[in-house]
């Protein structure tokens, strides 16, 4: 309850009160729980006054001195505090709904646990204010200096901080809903564990800010500046970082799935073990960036510049590198499946570990194969096995011809060969031709059934125009004749004479002596081992 004597002095008017305060400088006025609604207390001296729990509904406290006053749990609904000085004032648990704080000095004021809604706070001084665990709704902090402000565990909604100065601000574990941080200065701000549901942070400056373990949903950081910013274990799924400047920042273990980083500039930053699936980095510039152990699957790097970047152990499934530049990057342990390298410039890709002698290639797709070839005896043995045992069988897959091909395959397996049958019934195209040529050059020898040859003609002609050094044995069932230009192929030193057969049983009985043995002899001849 208020001190009756103090309350009586106040009722005499502001001038009487201020004169009394000047005479009694050592007295701490007690107006706790006083009913002061609608009072006109403009220019009053309430410094160090106890106004705890007082009702100041629509009270005029403009240009008042409220330094070090106790306004905890006070009702300041629609109170006019314009131009007043509330430095170091205790406002814990106060109701500041629709309070007017135009040009108010609130430096180091304590608002913990209070409720602020529709407060007119333009041009106020709010440095080092403590808003911890408050509920803030529909406020305009635009262009206000909020240096060192404490907003830990605060719930803020529908509020703007556009162009506000929030250097060293503490937003740890705050909940932010529909916030405007456009062009805000958040240098050295702490946003650890913050949860954001909708925020415009376009052009914001977050240099040296810490957002570890934060959750940023529906957030735009377009054109933002992120120098030495920390996003460790942050959830940034779908965040917009279009044209952002990122340097020396840390995103370890962060989730950037579906993020937009198009045209962004990323330098000397750590994005290791990051989820970047389906993200867009089109036309981005990346230098000295670490994507080690990160998942880049289905992401878009079209026309991006990737230089001196660590891609070791990265997942690159279905990544689009069309027209990108990938230069002097580390690609040890990558998984590049289904990547689009059309028009990509690649150079100086290091396929070895950091402490191993550097070995470089100029093709990201063959990097895993080359490393395995150099370091894995089993891979080398597998390649030796392929070239030593694979037999390519060419023919047609019509029902009658398929029986012949399958029988040849079974017979070859009895001799420990690895038969490969190629189906020519599929549509013919350039990729198909290249596949046949690749298999042919990996084979020990080739068996070609030229009965009803169809596409076999073109494949054998293609083999003839290459530098083939693999023996080929043509088979022809009696009653059929080869095509007119077949004699030209017979002049090749790797083409053996035609083996004629009456039917399948007869072919199987003579396959060893008339097909396999002549092919092996020819192979020795061509390889110089005869």
Contacts of 304 (CB under 8 A, 6+ apart): 281, 282, 283, 284, 285, 286, 321, 324, 325
Residues 474, 468: contact at Cβ < 8 Å? no
**What DSSP string runs through 109-135?**
-B-TT-EEES-B-TT-B-TT-B-TT-E
- Mean pLDDT calculated for residue range 233-247: 98
pLDDT digits (tens, 9 = 90+) for 391-450: 888 877 777 888 888 899 899 989 988 888 765 444 444 456 676 777 787 788 999 888
Range in 7-16, 196-205, 398-407, 502-511 with the lowest mean pLDDT: 398-407
- Nearest 5°: phi and psi at 462? -65, -40
Task: Judge whether residue 490 has pLDDT over 50.
Answer: yes
Contacts of 427 (CB under 8 A, 6+ apart): none
First-to-last C-alpha distance (Å) of the chain? 116
Return d(Cα 268, Cα 289) in angstroms, integer. Answer: 5
- The continuous run of DSSP H or E covering 367 comes out as helix 367-375
More confident residue, 395 or 174: 174
Q: Give the residue carrying structure tokens 């070995």.
A: 359
Half-sphere exposure of 196 (CA within 13 A, CB side): 30
Mean pLDDT, the chain, as a whole number? 91
Residue 465 burial (10 A CB sphere; 0-12, 13-18, 19+): exposed
Task: Judge whether residue 213 has pLDDT over 70.
Answer: yes
Query: Residue 367 has which token pair?
Result: 């990097």
Query: Residue 331 has which token pair?
Result: 């690609």
Instruction: Write down the pLDDT at residue 459.
Output: 72
* Residues β-bridged to residue 477: 501
Q: Give the residue carrying structure tokens 């330098």.
A: 267
Exposure b/e, 213-249, CB count within 10 A at least 16 = b: bbbbeebbbbbbbbbbbbbbbbbbbbbbbbbbbbbbb
Range in 204-208, 211-215, 323-327, 404-408 with the lowest mean pLDDT: 404-408
Beta strands in 38-127 (DSSP E): 95-97, 115-117
Instruction: Write down the pLDDT at residue 122.
Output: 93
Residues 144, 163: contact at Cβ < 8 Å? no
Return d(Cα 253, Cα 294) in angstroms, integer. Answer: 9
Contacts of 110 (CB under 8 A, 6+ apart): 88, 89, 90, 91, 92, 129, 130
pLDDT digits (tens, 9 = 90+) for 20-49: 999 999 999 999 999 999 999 999 999 999
Instruction: Write down the pLDDT at residue 327.
Output: 94
Task: For CA atoms 188, 191, 193, 196, give the dihedral sign.
Answer: negative
The pTM of the full predicted model, rounded to 2 decimals, is 0.76
pLDDT digits (tens, 9 = 90+) for 77-105: 999 999 999 999 999 999 999 999 999 99
Contacts of 377 (CB under 8 A, 6+ apart): none
More confident residue, 459 or 107: 107
pLDDT digits (tens, 9 = 90+) for 114-160: 999 999 999 999 999 999 999 999 999 999 999 999 999 999 999 99
- Nearest 5°: phi and psi at 367? -55, -50
Question: How many CB atoms neighbour CB 519 within 10 A?
Answer: 21
Task: Judge whether residue 386 has pLDDT over 80.
Answer: no
Q: 73: pLDDT confidence band, cut at 50, 70 and 90?
A: very high
Instruction: Write down the pLDDT at residue 425.
Output: 45
Strand order, beta sheet including 472-477: 418-423, 390-395, 445-449, 472-477, 499-501
Q: Please, where are the H alpha helices in 85-153?
A: none
Contacts of 19 (CB under 8 A, 6+ apart): none
Contacts of 190 (CB under 8 A, 6+ apart): 168, 169, 170, 171, 172, 209, 210
Task: Judge whether residue 377 has pLDDT over 80.
Answer: no
Instruction: Write down the pLDDT at residue 375.
Output: 67
Residues 396, 423: contact at Cβ < 8 Å? no
Contacts of 26 (CB under 8 A, 6+ apart): none
How many residues can be counted in the chain?
530
- Mean pLDDT calculated for residue range 315-336: 95
Task: Judge whether residue 259 has pLDDT over 90.
Answer: yes
Instruction: Write down the pLDDT at residue 369.
Output: 76
- Mean pLDDT calculated for residue range 161-166: 98
Percent of the chain past pLDDT 70, that is, above it, reads 93
Instruction: Write down the pLDDT at residue 428.
Output: 47
More confident residue, 478 or 432: 478
Could you give the C-alpha distances from 305 to 226, 286, 323, 514, in angstroms and in order?
19, 6, 9, 59
Instruction: Write down the pLDDT at residue 297.
Output: 97
Query: Residue 494 has which token pair?
Result: 């790797």
């Amino acid at each position: 309850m208020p001190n009756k004597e103090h309350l009586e002095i106040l009722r005499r008017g502001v001038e009487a009160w201020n004169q009394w305060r000047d005479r009694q400088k050592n007295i701490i006025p007690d107006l706790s729980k006083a009913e002061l609604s609608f009072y006109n207390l403009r220019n009053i001296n309430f410094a160090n006054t106890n106004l705890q729990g007082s009702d100041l509904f629509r009270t005029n406290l403009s240009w008042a001195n409220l330094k070090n006053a106790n306004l905890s749990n006070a009702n300041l609904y629609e109170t006019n505090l314009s131009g007043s000085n509330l430095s170091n004032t205790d406002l814990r648990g106060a109701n500041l709904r629709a309070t007017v704080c135009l040009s108010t000095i609130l430096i180091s004021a304590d608002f913990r646990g209070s409720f602020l809604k529709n407060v007119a706070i333009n041009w106020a001084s709010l440095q080092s204010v403590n808003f911890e665990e408050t509920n803030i709704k529909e406020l305009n902090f635009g262009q206000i200096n909020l240096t060192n402000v404490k907003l830990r565990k605060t719930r803020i909604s529908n509020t703007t901080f556009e162009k506000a100065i929030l250097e060293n601000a503490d937003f740890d574990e705050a909940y932010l809903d529909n916030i405007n941080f456009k062009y805000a200065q958040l240098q050295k701000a702490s946003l650890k564990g913050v949860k954001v549901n909708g925020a415009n942070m376009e052009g914001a400056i977050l240099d040296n800010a810490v957002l570890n373990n934060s959750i940023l949903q529906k957030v735009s950081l377009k054109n933002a500046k992120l120098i030495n910013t920390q996003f460790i274990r942050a959830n940034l799924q779908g965040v917009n970082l279009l044209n952002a400047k990122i340097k020396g920042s840390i995103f370890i273990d962060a989730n950037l799935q579906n993020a937009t980083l198009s045209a962004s500039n990323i330098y000397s930053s750590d994005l290791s073990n990051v989820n970047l699936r389906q993200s867009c980095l089109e036309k981005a510039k990346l230098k000295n960036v670490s994507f080690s152990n990160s998942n880049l699957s289905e992401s878009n790097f079209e026309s991006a510049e990737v230089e001196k970047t660590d891609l070791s152990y990265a997942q690159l499934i279905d990544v689009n590198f069309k027209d990108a530049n990938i230069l002097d990057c580390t690609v040890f342990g990558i998984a590049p499946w289904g990547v689009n390298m059309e028009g990509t410039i690649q150079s100086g890709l290091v396929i070895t570990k950091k402490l191993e002698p550097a070995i470089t290639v100029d093709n990201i797709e063959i990097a895993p194969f080359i490393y395995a070839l150099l370091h894995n005896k089993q891979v080398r043995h597998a390649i030796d096995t392929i070239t030593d045992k694979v037999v390519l069988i060419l023919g047609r897959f019509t029902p009658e011809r398929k029986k012949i091909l399958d029988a040849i395959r079974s017979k070859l397996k009895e001799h420990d060969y690895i038969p490969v049958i190629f189906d020519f019934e599929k549509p013919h195209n350039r990729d198909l031709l290249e596949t046949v040529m690749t298999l042919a050059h990996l084979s020990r020898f080739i068996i070609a059934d030229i009965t009803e040859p169809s596409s076999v003609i073109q494949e054998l002609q293609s083999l003839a125009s290459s530098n083939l050094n693999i023996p080929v044995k043509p088979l022809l069932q009696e009653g059929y004749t080869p095509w007119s230009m077949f004699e030209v192929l017979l002049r090749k030193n790797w083409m053996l004479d035609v083996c004629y057969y009456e039917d399948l049983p007869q072919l199987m009985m003579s396959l060893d002596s008339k097909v396999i043995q002549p092919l092996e002899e020819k192979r020795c001849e061509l390889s110089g081992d005869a």
